[in-house]
Amino acid sequence: MPAEMESIADLICELTRNCNIKEEYFAASFNLSPTEIKFLKLFAVKPQYTIKELREVLKLTPGRITHILTSLEAKNLISRTLNLNDKRVILVSLQPKASPLIANLKQNYNELHKKILQNVSQKELENITSALKTLNKVFSQWVNQK
């Protein structure tokens, strides 16, 4: 069993490295950082976030969140406003010019994954999906125990 665990750990590390390379490649095609891409992709799910929600979802420090927000504001992609009901809360929203970018990100991201997985059979895709769901579940359980 220990050799099998070492093999799994090595495979996860290799997958993580390859995913980082893919994320850097994809982000560079939009002249954004991988973190900015992750940040913007959140807005495909929900139109507005508080800074606290962004910190929790992205698991980033307040300083890192501020850096990303400042960068995306300078690119006129997001805006920060005070919540009218609670002045302590800052709301982050997309600027109108960012909406087509989000749609483009989503489409190109799907096309990139289709290209990466083009030579994988349907059965292999099902196995990959099942294994990834299991990995996500066990990693989420581990993270939530901490």
CA 79 remoteness from chain centre: 19
Residue 131 maps to a domain: no
Residue 130 maps to a domain: no
Strand positions, DSSP E, 63-106: 78-82, 90-94
Structure confidence by residue, pLDDT tens digits, 40-68: 988 888 889 999 999 988 889 989 999 99
Is 81 within 8 Å of 90 (Cβ atoms)?
yes
Residue 23 maps to a domain: yes
Other CB atoms within 10 Å distance of the CB of residue 65:
18
Residue 34 maps to a domain: yes
Whole-number Cα distances in Å, 24 to 20, 28, 64, 131: 6, 6, 18, 24
Q: Number of folded domains in the chain?
A: 1
Residue 127 maps to a domain: no
Contacts of 77 by beta carbon, 8 Å cutoff, 6+ apart: 40, 94, 95, 97, 98, 101
Residue 135 maps to a domain: no
Q: For residue 32, what is the DSSP state?
A: S
Please tell me the predicted confidence (pLDDT) of residue 143: 85
Does the pLDDT of residue 146 top 80, yes or no? Answer: no
Residue 25 maps to a domain: yes
Using pLDDT thresholds of 50, 70 and 90, give the confidence band for residue 1: low
Using pLDDT thresholds of 50, 70 and 90, give the confidence band for residue 101: confident
Buried b (16+ CB within 10 A) or exposed e, 90-113: bbbebeeebeebbeebeeebeeee
CATH number at residue 12: 1.10.10.10
Residue 97: which domain range? 2-109
Residue 142 maps to a domain: no
